[in-house]
Chains A and B, each alone.
Chain A
């Protein structure tokens, strides 16, 4: 097979012998194959309704189970294998995100939004294969190792106040899971570089060369994710994804100058990333680019009579795709999304995939049935309440097809730091603005109350309500706690962040089925899309303002109380010590001859002042007073 593989001399030949080449790509004697190590790279591009473009990079490295794991590697990053080996990781997901996923415009029920829309900052969860008593120490060591590996402050998740043990939110009813989030962590190139170091070609070849730092960090959303799965059967699977939402530059088109404002901006890889894509990473088993057109675009195209074509009166996809992959929908009357596949091979001409729009066109992305948001209520720095609201997006087809008995399930998972003291008994649930009896709505609830300086409060809640409901709102009252002076962060006046709450809809899945094309099975990205992922959405991060003390206060208090005590002690000592009678007698006897020091000075000053004009003593008096006042105030 190796000989076969090497015999191909050009891409054209590859095109002619599509099936053969694919089989050779798949079964060829590739580097690391004997040891069961593979690497694939894929890029998904998708136009978004609000004139933006989604780029989703998917790199996958796999290592088959072997006793050498962590010691001898060919393609798989040694550091990750050692991490898995040392901490006995079963599952791990780490994401660094900047910006917030716009569920309304960018979609809420497609596979990308349910797996790659992440809360701002850092989110980490992991399950371990270690005995329950060792999980916490393993987690702590893991956070330190990861923060070293990714140049970030993940080690702040070490303290028991910042992580929690969810019981049923992640669908895994296990006790060996730990979850933690750092909403304020800034994400930048220093996190991307170590992430790229895990790829065999880094950003020197292949799809990762597109990652031009200024272009990708200028985007509206940036989420880099690392997902590790390790089992005894399949070995270690490392998925590295990078999801970016970019605004393509508007390319002025003279022919349609009047329509420029309404027309979607045309874009191509080189215009968006400011880099050209030449060739793939030679170590990658597959390297492909996929362009996805959402079903709303496709339905429009079908209306216009060019279903599934890539060059029509509405848009122009260039260059010609290698293959078209169609989605299969359970609702046959509806149209489905289309994927256009490009194979990225070593060619001399850069592969510059792009879409040129010809006519103004508006569409919307598939929404999740409910839009989740969270906000604070109340004022002042003493107490307040948190509200989570779920608004029906109405546009979903799930309900149109279903009758009135349909019941919706929503799981709310919220972690609150201990200094926000939530009173869980104040939980109120409103459905369509009407207060509900809790037992009617809540199907399952698990509350871990916060413990001061030890545990964060965790709320896990399964709500069940009819599908026709317009809005669901939850409120919880809280008191703001007082922190010890050492517990305030450097910029305490900014307020404290409460990590995003997670709302999942367990009976909705964002899986896609593609027409039985056997080769698509070999695309890890499409396999990922076909998985049954629960539709979920993260809410906003809340910023809670706190009372901040005067940080010099302890010393002031010490000084003040000490002075008062010293005064008291001094006067008491004087009272006990002095002999009034004797002193008076002494005074009287001395009165004629000797005068005290202060009266002497006063009399001298007054005698001198008498010789001056009248305004001067007043002036001097004023100056002395002001100096005294200043001294006292300070």
Chain B
């Protein structure tokens, strides 16, 4: 402080001769330097603080677990397929085939197992106990009729085997006996099949392999087809619900007007279907009748079949999105999926209308599907000659028999849209003689395939959604992320883990439903409204606001600092010189 005063005094009266001589040289570290460097230091100190002030609220997003899950999910197929458990029941009058099969001990190196990418790790070879022998004898007696055999098998032995193994077990029963029909292979509507006839053990092994791999595992599709098509053709909305919207289109109501009693038939035919698919999706059903809805493309008249032919080439131009106001449903707001099912009643001028397959044949069902959109059935009125003289067009309600036919096609279309074959007629070359149908439209083993497929797809999409969310969050460090999103991600991961655990235990339906939950939560997190409104305060924005102040201030501060440093160097040099001189003088 003293030095400060002294210097001021000197500067104010530099020419006064009677002033005391200037103070001796001192080390040049004074108040002014402190003043100059003060803002610099303060600025530096407050910088981290102000940075945290402008930083956004970010919830912890469990990135580590996400990475973990995605690793696990890569092996999801294996997890799901190793869960398959099989049981083989061998029934024979003489136990030769048992002993021979057992004697061979071939089960370990069954050929079909090696050809698969995944492994069937567990096989229970159950020998019928004496208590069970009786029921199996009964089976033996009754297998002459497939249906009755199905009942018997669905009843006692399969159930017992399932109880014995504690899970859901696929059963193949081999019944050895002489039969006029030769070897019969029947795939039942529960989780079992049976082989009746006298066949060699090698054939038995290959047949069992086919039944297991082709049908019980892959739902009649080729191996790998399901895995390849993952993510495609799963018509379930991101919120896990599907609206099935059925429309009856009257192309021209001035010719005829058709109406239907949809609800009654739907209760009979669609309700079991919806019930069976509950673990996969929330399904709601709507129906409407629309009028004045011509198709988009023209058909041509074919003399030979005396009908209008619409070739399959033109199918993309059948659906007339201008005139068919099928409408998305208000119930299906948001991210759910609407599947449209259309019954098209052509006008008198294009009746009867038939679909022609590429090979020139006429389509048997007269219908087609469009993946992820829905299906169309062309329904030709029984009497095509429209009475144009009639002032009032006939108004007819579809008879229950016709409606039932239409619904059967609907069910087949639904099966195809959900990724199954519409029927197995063309699979006769594999040696399977018969497939039994179930009331709901799906057999149990088909449902298992569907559940597995959907669980796989859901987990896959859940992981990809969460991964892209993580990428997004990491790429935008200034984005606000609410705690709620963090919670949703956490729950989604929990549900995904649960789905995996259930799948490995073989409880496929609950696995499908919890994987659906995982997907829904992941989608909810991704489409959270707060993410939509990303704060637009970019770096440029901050720059534009703070620049007008900090640029001139920094200029002053820096110039002052440079000047002071220069002076400091100069004065220090002088001081050092003075010291050394003083030392010399001393």
Using a CB–CB distance below 8 Å, which chain A residues touch chain B? 2, 5-6, 8-11, 29-32, 68, 70-75, 78-79, 82-83, 86, 145, 149, 197, 200-202, 204-205, 279, 282-283, 345-346, 555, 558-559, 562-563, 565-567, 569-570, 573-574, 576-577, 579-582, 584-585
Check if B549 sits within 8 Å of A581, measured CB to CB: no
Question: By the criterion CB–CB under 8 Å, are A581 and B330 in contact?
Answer: no
Check B391–A11 contact: CB distance below 8 A.
Answer: yes
- Interface segment, one of B31-39, B119-127, B301-309, B441-449: B31-39
Q: 16 other contacts beyond A72-B266, A73-B289, A581-B10, with CB at 8 A cut-off? A: A11-B391, A30-B395, A71-B285, A72-B286, A72-B287, A205-B292, A282-B254, A283-B257, A346-B254, A566-B548, A570-B556, A573-B556, A574-B560, A577-B32, A577-B564, A579-B7
- Please state if A204 and B292 are interface contacts (CB–CB under 8 Å): yes
| Interface assignment of B573: CB less than 8 Å from any CB of chain A | no
Chain B contacts with A in 30-54, Cβ cutoff 8 A: 32, 35-36, 39
Instruction: Specify which chain A residues have a CB less than 8 angstroms from the CB of B539 in the assembled complex.
Output: none
Q: What's the nearest-Cβ distance from chain B to residue A276, in Å?
A: 16
CB distance from A26 to the nearest CB of B (A): 14
Q: Is B165 an interface residue (CB 8 A)?
A: no
B544 at the interface (CB under 8 A from A): yes
Interface string of B259-292 (1 = CB under 8 A from A): 1001100100000000000000000111111111
Contact residues of B between 291 and 324, Cβ < 8 Å to A:
291-292
Kindly state the separation between the CA atoms of A606 and B549 in the bound complex, as whole angstroms. 37
Q: Is B289 in contact with A581, judged by CB distance below 8 angstroms?
A: no
Q: Give the A-binding residues of B (Cβ under 8 A).
A: 7-8, 10-12, 14, 32, 35-36, 39, 253-254, 257, 259, 262-263, 266, 284-292, 325, 327, 329-331, 333, 389-395, 544-545, 548-549, 551-553, 555-557, 560, 563-564
* Residues of B close to A584: CB separation below 8 A: 11, 14
Residue ID in chain B nearest A566 by CB atoms: B552
A565 with B549: CB separation less than 8 A: yes
The answer to whether B253 touches A566 (Cβ under 8 A) is no
Q: Are A31 and B259 in contact (CB under 8 A)?
A: yes
CA–CA, A559 to B390, complex, Å? 82
- The 21 sampled A-B contact pairs (Cβ below 8 Å) are A6-B394, A9-B391, A10-B391, A72-B286, A73-B287, A75-B289, A78-B327, A149-B330, A204-B292, A283-B257, A283-B291, A559-B548, A562-B548, A563-B548, A566-B552, A566-B553, A569-B556, A570-B552, A573-B35, A577-B36, A579-B11
In Å, the complex CA distance between A372 and B564 comes to 80
Q: Is the CB of B391 within 8 A of A345?
A: yes
Contact B329 A82 (CB under 8 A): yes
Residues in B neighbouring A8, C-beta threshold 8 A:
391-392
CB distance from B347 to the nearest CB of A (A): 12
CA distance A254 to B231 in the complex (A): 75
Compute how far the CA of A65 lies from the CA of B112 in the bound complex, rounded to whole angstroms: 60
Distance in angstroms from B286 CB to nearest chain A CB is: 5
Complexed CA–CA distance, A389 and B133 (Å): 101
A582 touches which of B11, B39, B254, B544 (Cβ 8 Å):
B11
Docked CA distance A86–B333 (Å): 11
Q: Given the complex, which residues of B lie within 8 Å of A346, measured CB to CB?
A: 254, 391-392
CA distance A576 to B37 in the complex (A): 12
In the A-B complex, the 4 residue pairs with the smallest Cβ-Cβ separation, listed nearest first, are: A581-B11, A566-B552, A562-B549, A570-B556
A73 and B288 form a contact (CB under 8 A): yes
Q: Which residues of A contact B291 (CB under 8 A)?
A: 200-201, 204, 283
Task: Name the B residues within 8 Å of A10 (CB-CB).
Answer: 391
Q: Which residues does chain B contribute within 8 Å of A205, judged by CB atoms?
A: 253-254, 292
Q: By CB atoms of chain A within 10 A, which of B32, B285, B330 has the most?
A: B330
- Cα–Cα distance between A29 and B289 once the two chains are bound (Å): 17
Complexed CA–CA distance, A523 and B253 (Å): 23
A-B pairs with CB below 8 Å: how many? Answer: 140
Cα distance A262–B70 when bound, in Å?
Answer: 85
Contact of B263 among A70, A72, A78, A585 (CB under 8 A): A72
B390 vs chain A, min Cβ distance (A): 7
Across the interface, name the chain A residue whose C-beta is closest to B11. Answer: A581
Do B254 and A563 touch across chains, with their CB atoms under 8 A apart?
Answer: no
| Chain B nearest CB, measured from A561 CB (Å) | 8
B24 CB to closest chain A CB, in angstroms? Answer: 16
Specify which of B329, B394, B395, B564 lies most central, judged by the most chain A CB atoms within 10 Å of its CB.
B395
In the assembly, what is the distance between CA of A68 and CA of B391, in Å?
A: 32
Give chain B residues whose Cβ lies under 8 Å from the Cβ of A579. Answer: 7, 11, 32
Given A31-B395, A585-B14, is A567 in contact with B32 using a C-beta cutoff of 8 Å?
Answer: no
Q: Which residues of A contact B555 (CB under 8 A)?
A: 570
Q: Once bound together, how far apart are the Cα atoms of A498 and B262, in whole Å? A: 50
Contact status A566-B560, CB under 8 Å = no
Contact of B553 among A75, A279, A282, A570 (CB under 8 A): A570
Q: Which residues of B contact A283 (CB under 8 A)?
A: 253, 257, 291
- Closest residue on chain B to residue A198 by CB atoms: B325
Q: Are A74 and B289 closer than 8 Å at their CB atoms?
A: yes
Contacting pair A68 B552 (CB below 8 A):
no
A567 touches B552 (CB 8 A): yes
Contact of A576 among B35, B259, B551 (CB under 8 A): B35
Cα A585 to Cα B11 in complex, Å, equals: 9
Distance between Cα atoms of A478 and B277 in the complex (Å): 63
B392, B560, B564, most chain A CB atoms within 10 A: B392
Q: Which residues of A contact B327 (CB under 8 A)?
A: 78-79, 197
Residues from chain B with a CB closer than 8 A to the CB of A149 are: 330
Q: Give the CA-CA distance A576 to B395 in the complex, in Å.
A: 100
Q: How far is the CB of B74 from chain A (nearest CB, A)?
A: 41
Task: Find the B residue at minimum CB distance from A196.
Answer: B325
- Closest chain B residue to A575, Cβ basis: B35
Q: Which residue of B lies closest to A74 (CB)?
A: B289
Of all chain B residues, the one with the shortest Cβ separation from A5 is B392
CB–CB B36/A78 < 8 A: no
Q: Nearest chain-A residue to B248 (Cβ)?
A: A74
Closest A residue by C-beta to B289: A74
How distant is the Cα of A563 from the Cα of B35 in the complex, in angstroms? 21
Contact across chains for A201 and B390 when beta carbons are under 8 A apart: no
CB-nearest residue of chain B to A571: B556
Q: List B contacts of A79 (CB < 8 A).
A: 327, 329-330
Contacts known (A78-B329, A566-B552); A282 close to B253, Cβ less than 8 A:
yes
Kindly state the separation between the CA atoms of A497 and B287 in the bound complex, as whole angstroms.
43
The interface centre, meaning the residue of B289, B290, B545, B557 with most chain A CB atoms within 10 A of its CB, is: B289
Q: Are B391 and A566 in contact (CB under 8 A)?
A: no
Query: In the complex, which residues of chain B have a beta carbon less than 8 angstroms from the beta carbon of A71?
Result: 263, 284-287
- Chain B nearest Cβ from A581, distance in angstroms: 2
| Chain B: CB-nearest residue to A67 | B263
Q: Residues of A contacting B325 with CB < 8 Å?
A: 197, 202
Query: Are A558 and B286 neighbours in the complex by a CB distance under 8 Å?
Result: no
CB-CB nearest in chain B for A200: B291
Chain A minimum-CB-distance residue to B560: A577
In the complex, what distance in Å separates the CA atom of A11 from the CA atom of B287?
34
Q: Are A9 and B389 in contact (CB under 8 A)?
A: yes
Tell me which residues across on chain A come within 8 A of B266, comparing CB atoms.
72
Contacts of A68 in B (CB 8 A): 263
